[in-house]
Amino acid sequence: MIKIRVFHTGSVCVSPALPFGGDNVNPLKLSPLMTRKKDRLWLPVSSYLIEHPKGNILFDCGWHRDMSPEGEFDKQAQIQSLGSRLLYMVNQGKVEKGQTIDEQLLKIGIKPSDLDYVLLSHLDCDHVNGASLVKEAKHMLVSNDELAGSRKKSCKNKIRFQSKWWSDCHLEGFDWNDTEGPFGKAFDLFGDGSVKMIAIPGHSDGLCALKIKNEEGRYVLLFSDGGYADKSWKEMISSGVCNDKEAQKKSLAWIREQSMHEKCVESIANHDADVIPHNICF
Ligand SMILES: [Zn+2]
């Protein structure tokens, strides 16, 4: 049996254009600070623990405690943690006391050193800002496509990806070793098809969904920021943060097909406001 625990490791405040902007997004509208307060969205920031017969796997890390040292909204702490005022303009975050990933794992008796793998869907702040909280994990992996994408020299990248979030972690890149997914690029962690990182680029160059499959072929799909909610794939609404719109739509179409498949137990977006923390056993 495989057990997946869905955690909320704080929340992120965004303009509606960011998760559900679709095709034509005015970059200025991406900032919640340019949006009326009542229209801003507070979305959960998720991490997942997969208790698999072959090891404990954490998928994404959420916010670091230093975003909210006192468990409350703290503007200066966020600018410091995010590494720039501009990134703070794009998204603000908050993590209550007891909600960071290491704090929640400790509550169920798991230390960072008990994690066999930390898999990162991509390198955006709300997924890796907390990576150093679990740096004692045996392995921390991200796709080489994402690493390469984050190192491309551009003004946007300079703000978007701050290597200080993972600089004290031993972050390893992986190459594709499997052909599943919309682009025929996947990484089969154990070589048995049970845990695969599947390339769903668009939102970022090396974004991955995690597909966890049991012996009967039933699976859970954690599609990270490939969409921001069920309605993203149901209504084919792409997000406003995007490196490649065509790739993003192709990835979303694959998420839709996977989510509607009869073998799909659950498919979950990282920031879906309708998803509450729960456990999945299958
Ligand atoms: Zn995200």
Distance 224 CA to ligand 1 centre (A): 7
| Percent of the chain residues past pLDDT 70, beyond the cut | 96
Mean pLDDT in residue range 226-247 = 92
Distance from C-alpha of 1 to C-alpha of 24, rounded to nearest angstrom: 44
Mean pLDDT in residue range 67-71 = 97
Q: How many CA atoms lie within 13 A of 209 on its CB side?
A: 33
Looking at per-residue pLDDT, the higher value among 34 and 13 belongs to 13
Residue pointed to by tokens 């798991």: 110
Q: Check: CB of residue 56 under 8 Å from CB of residue 110.
A: yes
Distance 171 CA to ligand 1 centre (A): 19
Q: Would you state the pLDDT for residue 28?
A: 66
Q: Could you give the residue ranges of the DSSP H alpha helices within 190-240?
A: 230-234
Q: Would you state the pLDDT for residue 32?
A: 66
CATH of the domain at 86: 3.60.15.10
Q: Would you state the pLDDT for residue 36?
A: 77
Q: Could you give the residue ranges of the DSSP H alpha helices within 83-214?
A: 85-90, 101-107, 125-128, 144-151, 155-160
Distance 270 CA to ligand 1 centre (A): 7
Q: Which domain holds residue 270?
A: 3-281
Phi, psi of 139 (to 5 degrees): -140, 145
**Cα separations in angstroms, 121 against 25, 65, 89:** 24, 20, 23
- The model's pLDDT over 151-198, given as tens digits with 9 standing for 90+, comes to 999 988 999 999 999 999 999 999 999 999 999 999 999 999 999 999
For β-strands 117-119 and 140-143, DSSP reports them as: parallel
Residues facing 195 on adjacent strands: 212
Mean pLDDT in residue range 25-47 = 80
79 CB neighbour count, 10 Å cutoff: 16
The total of structural domains in the chain comes to 1
Mean pLDDT in residue range 123-149 = 98
Token reading at 123: 């390198």
Q: Would you state the pLDDT for residue 149?
A: 96
Mean pLDDT in residue range 215-244 = 94
Q: Would you state the pLDDT for residue 17?
A: 81
pTM: 0.96
Distance 225 CA to ligand 1 centre (A): 5
Burial category of 139 from C-beta neighbours within 10 Å (exposed 0-12, middle 13-18, buried 19 and up): middle
Distance 216 CA to ligand 1 centre (A): 31
Q: Check: CB of residue 50 under 8 Å from CB of residue 59.
A: yes
